[in-house]
Structure 1
Amino acid sequence: MRVKRQKCHRKSVRFYTSCFGLRQPFKVLCDGTFVHHLITNTIKPADTAISNILSAAPVKLFTTRCVLAELKRLGTSYFQALEAAHQLFTASCDHEKNKSADACIKDVIGQNNPEHFFVATQDTDLRKKFQEIPGVPIIFGLRNSLFLESPSAFQRQFVKTSEEARLHMTALDRKMLQKRSRNRSVDEEANNSSGENEDFVDQKIGIQDERKTPTARKATSMKDRVQFKRKKAKGPNPLSCRKKSREKPKLVLEKEKKDGENSVRSRSRKRKRSCGGKNMEKDG
């Protein structure tokens, strides 16, 4: 049963956060009846108990000056509740004179709950009143447990109608759309006129180009062309080629042999003169 209750509380918190913009840390506005209920049922600490039902980080508990004054007027039976209420934050209320607690809380909440308060109260009439105001979650106690009321039918219908209203165009949006369309048409006319002027200028430039000499045309056209470099024919890779043989050809070898033989023969035929003949002639 407790798991089911926690699931309902999470669903309600998700509804208020997504539809009415309530954000953490949540602010809880407590009246005197709720503080008295916490004291009599020994629900301590109060901020931890409330944060558990909201499944959120530590919450901030608030009260008002009018609530404190009302608890003070009730006497000694509410003395502990008064001391506990003094430990809470004080929300500012704009009225000068003190009002009743329920009237003060109604003024703080207003018609649309601008401060995004959770209201914690045990007053049934006050709870019914806040069920008719959009974006006001209500916390109440039952014995030693705390509960978060599920969104009322009025609040759900308010969210549905507001979502449908967002889908339709308002008078202000219609005026803005008409203004944008007018500005766009003016810009298109200006662009068309500027385009016609550019075409006229281009035609003049084309006529001037036609009047130029053919040599000038050729020179400009040749410069405008993209020039590609031709690849030069390269020789074979020397590393992949076979080395040249150093052997001499056969004809050269044969000639060298013949020359060698002739030289040998010429040397052999050559006669040597002896010195003996000269000496004999001298003697005679």
Structure 2
Amino acid sequence: MKLARVIHQGRIKLALVEEEGLEVLLLDRLLAHDPNPVRTVIERRLSAKELVDAATGRAAFDEVTFLSPLSQLVRNVFAVGKNYVDHAREFDTSGFNATSGAAAIPSSPQFFTKATTSLAGPTDPIVFSEATTSSVDYEGEIGVVIARECRNVPEGEALDAVFGFVALNDLTARDLQRSHVQWFLGKSLDTFCPLGPWITTIDQAPVESLRVRTWVNGELRQDAPLSDLIFSVPKLIATLSSAMTLLPGDIIATGTPVGVGIGFSPPRFLRDGDVVRVSATGLGELRNTVKVVIR
């Protein structure tokens, strides 16, 4: 199933997406007063049949506005740095790697997090002030959505802990990333984690089928299959869960491929009015416009 939240006729509603028909099934009554209904669906393990049976109507894509599937993040997004070989090399030689001297290709996953308050919807503006940063970069990625509470998950069983996948943009203030050495601040500005437009369950989006693409103002900048990861989805889950408990609705951003702004000479950072699109196979498309504000 493909699970979303939409605005329809002025109300926020839970919805099931029928991508081929460009329609959604509206679930007006199910979890209508739940502050985070998609996470509740994941946590309660509600089936597609239960959701379809609760549908009250249909609407075309052009009759709704897609929101972030998760209305709020319960915990920070877990993200992975340098998880595609070519991107690891472009980052290592970009001049923005504050940990230069370490191996360009990591020998184990490099985890960091993005603050819960960085969450944005699939069409929300990317907002920042030049007083805070002058080097904002895009990073199209595929996020793994965890299905259940789990700990010490063996790599061979890790996909059983996956609810589904979602497109996201791991936006980064490169100057803050470099000056603070630790990546958290540069990754966590408000609106720096556009997410959506829906979550597709793993049965409809198998790992081997997934591919992420990023465009800036219509120019294709990134294009890579998830199978190119240095550290696979099962490896990421096994590594994280060996150290900590994962919870339903947790998101692991798997890393970005080659083609980010710092990979160009000179770097091509985002400017006011730029339109950034991130799409992934079966996961829909983010379309966010950059808005630079004066503060």
TM-score, normalization by structure 1:
0.20
- Which is higher, the Rg of structure 1 or of structure 2? 1
Return the structure number with greater relative CO, CA threshold 8 A, min gap 6. Answer: 2
Structure having the higher helix fraction is 1
The TM-score, its normalising length taken from structure 2, stands at: 0.19
